[in-house]
Amino acid sequence: MSSHTFLWHDYETFGANTRRDRPAQFAAIRTDAELNEIGEPVMLYCKPANDYLPDPQSCLITGIT
């Protein structure tokens, strides 16, 4: 059995501008070399600052508001 594992992750933002837009969500799943899930998936949501207006198109695409 291999001891190698992989962390598969996805990162969503409140827009497409990498310099301006903020994170909205991070999700991850760890697997072994045979792609069997190890442990529990991780899902974190980020609350935007009060002075930040998310891009409406991004909210429609991700479903995160």
Query: Would you say 5 and 28 are in contact if contact means Cβ atoms under 8 Å apart?
Result: no
Query: pLDDT at position 33, please?
Result: 94
Q: What is the pLDDT of residues 3-58, one digit of tens each?
A: 899 999 999 999 988 888 999 999 999 999 999 999 999 999 999 889 999 999 99
- Compute the distance between CA of residue 41 and CA of residue 6 in angstroms, rounded to an integer: 13
Q: What's the pLDDT at 3?
A: 87
Residues in the chain: 65
pLDDT at position 18 is 80
pTM score, whole prediction? 0.76
Instruction: Please state the CATH superfamily assignment of the domain spanning residues 5-62 in this structure.
Output: Ribonuclease H-like superfamily/Ribonuclease H (3.30.420.10)
User: Max CA-CA distance within the chain?
Assistant: 51
Residue 1: per-residue pLDDT: 54
Domain boundaries, the chain: 5-62
